[in-house]
Amino acid sequence: PLPCECNGNQQIVYCSNKSLSELPPIQKSEGKWTFYLDDNRIEVIPDNYFSGVKVNFLSLENNDIHTIGENAFQGSEDSLNYLHLENNSMTELPNAIGKLRQLTAVSIQGNPMVDLTETWYETHQHSFCTFQLRFTDRVINNKQPDSGNSRWRL
């Protein structure tokens, strides 16, 4: 969709640095897609935005995202592997992330997170191989569940 560029052969959508304040319309497509929506002014990822498209890599860093709908990634629960949400305006981790069963890496550093509770990790840890957090006063990298007891190590 304009003003984005699409490489249908490689199933990649390039919408980086297009001064978008909202997500462009997308249409139902076959295959697994990569979306670059970084470096814009996007604030909200609404429910069902990716419905009809299976996404395997999603770059949303460097926007103003403060809200991600509970069902924003509906249809990509079993295909989305990598999610980049760095440098946005999120104050909490959206529940939509916990629905992504094949998510192996998510990056959220550079967001003004208020509370990252152990309960959230215990509830959603089944999806992650890598979970990166970066705070100004400390760094938590490659957060992984302890083997055998599903508890997270800091």
Backbone angles phi, psi at 134, to 5 degrees: -140, 125
**Number of folded domains that form the chain:** 1
Question: What's the predicted TM-score (pTM) here?
Answer: 0.79
Report whether pLDDT(136) > 50.
Answer: no
Residue 137 lies in a domain: no
Task: Write out pLDDT tens, residues 56-93.
Answer: 999 999 999 999 999 999 999 999 999 999 999 999 88
Distance between start and end Cα atoms, the chain: 42
Residue 142 lies in a domain: no
Residue 37 lies in a domain: yes
What is the domain extent for residue 35?
5-124
Residue 52 lies in a domain: yes
Residue 144 lies in a domain: no
Percentage of the chain beyond pLDDT 70 is 73
Residue 77 lies in a domain: yes
Residue 141 lies in a domain: no
Q: Which of these, 85, 88, 86, lies nearest to 73 by C-alpha position? A: 85
Res. 2 pLDDT band, cuts 50 70 90: confident
**Considering the chain, what is the average pLDDT of its residues?**
82
Please state which of the ranges 7-16, 21-30, 94-103, 141-150 shows the lowest mean pLDDT.
Answer: 141-150
Q: How far apart are CA 57 and CA 49, in angstroms?
A: 15
Residue 86 lies in a domain: yes
What integer pLDDT is reported at residue 146 of this predicted model?
40
Query: The domain that contains 118 carries what CATH number?
Result: 3.80.10.10
Mean pLDDT, residues 146-153: 36
User: At CB < 8 A and 24+ separation, what contacts does 42-45 make?
Assistant: 43/67, 43/89, 44/68, 44/69, 45/69, 45/72, 45/96
* 97, 74 Cβ separation under 8 angstroms: no
